[in-house]
Structure 1
C-alpha cells in the first residue's frame, strides 16, 4: 500500500516464489477497521487487517487475530550487522528463512500448503538510516480472510 506520509523510511515487501507463482491478489478485510500503525512496530503474532502491496511499506493496519484478517506475522529474523548486502541477498535470505520457519509454524511444508507467505524486509534506505535488520514473515490464505491463528493449521 503506498505511503501517504512523507516519512523517509519503509520496509520492502517481497513474496515467496510460491506466492508469486500463484498470485497474491485477494480481498482485504472489507469494512473491518484495523488499527493503522507504523510497520516497524509489527511483531510476531500480529494480524494484518488488509493486504500489503509491493514496494516500500511504511504503515500496516492490524487487527486482533480472533477477528477476520488478511495475514499473520509468524516469524522475525534479524540479519547480521554490516554493509547492506544488496537487494538480491536480502530477498534471498528472507525467502529462505521464511520458508524454513513456515513448516514449524503451520505444520506443513510450504511447497505442500494451500497457504502463502510474503515477507517484509529491509530496504537499503532503512538498513542505512535506521539500522533496520529485521525480516518479518507473514502467512495468509489466498482463499480469503482468516479468523484465528494459522499456527498448527497443517494445510
Structure 2
C-alpha cells in the first residue's frame, strides 16, 4: 500500500460499499494516490500511530480507530461550517497482526462515497 498522508486523495481499487457500516469500516489495502481535482474514492483527513507494544487485538484497534476517526478529526479537517454530503462515509485503514509484526502502527481515517467517486477536496481553506 502506498503511504497515505493527511489531505491525500486516492482510489482504493475496490468497492467502498463492500466495507461500509454505521461506524466506519476497514477498507481494501490497494490504493493509488491521485490529485484531488481528479475523480477519487477517498480523501484522508487524519493519520495517527498506535502505541508500540504487543498487538492489542483487532477489537481494540478498531475501537481506537472508530473513536479517533469519528471524533473532531473530520470537523477539524473540513471546517465547522462545511457542507459535507450525506453520501460520504468514514472509513479507515488500520494495522493487521501480520503488518504489526513489521512495525506498522498507522491508522488512516478517510471519507469516501460508497456510491461512486467525487472530485475536489473537502479540506477547509482556513
TM-score (norm 2): 0.75
- Tell me the equivalent position of 1:148: 120
Aligned-pair RMSD on alpha carbons? 2.6
* 1:83 and 2:63 matched: no
The answer to whether the Cα contact below 8 Å between 1:51 and 1:71 also exists between their aligned partners in 2 is no
For residues 38 and 14 of structure 2, the distance between their equivalents in structure 1, rounded to whole angstroms, comes to 18
> What's the CA shift for 1:143?
5.1
> What's the CA shift for 1:118?
0.3
- Tell me the equivalent position of 2:22: none
- Tell me the equivalent position of 1:20: none
For residues 118 and 85 of structure 2, the distance between their equivalents in structure 1, rounded to whole angstroms, comes to 15
Residues 68-124 of structure 1, C-alpha deviations (whole Å, 9 max, x = no match): 11110111011111111000000010011011111211235xxx9612110000001
Q: 1:92 to 1:46 in 2, by over 3 A?
A: same
- Tell me the equivalent position of 2:5: 43
Q: 1:52 to 1:74 in 2, by over 3 A?
A: farther
For residues 70 and 56 of structure 1, the distance between their equivalents in structure 2, rounded to whole angstroms, comes to 11
TM-score (norm 1): 0.62
* 1:135 and 2:97 matched: no
> What's the CA shift for 1:133?
0.5
**Can you give the 5+ residue segments of structure 2 that lack an aligned partner in the other structure?**
20-25
For residues 40 and 27 of structure 2, the distance between their equivalents in structure 1, rounded to whole angstroms, comes to 21
Bigger Cα displacement from structure 2, 114-123 vs 47-56: 47-56
Structure of higher CA gyration radius: 1
**Can you give the 5+ residue segments of structure 1 that lack an aligned partner in the other structure?**
1-38
The answer to whether the Cα contact below 8 Å between 1:119 and 1:136 also exists between their aligned partners in 2 is yes
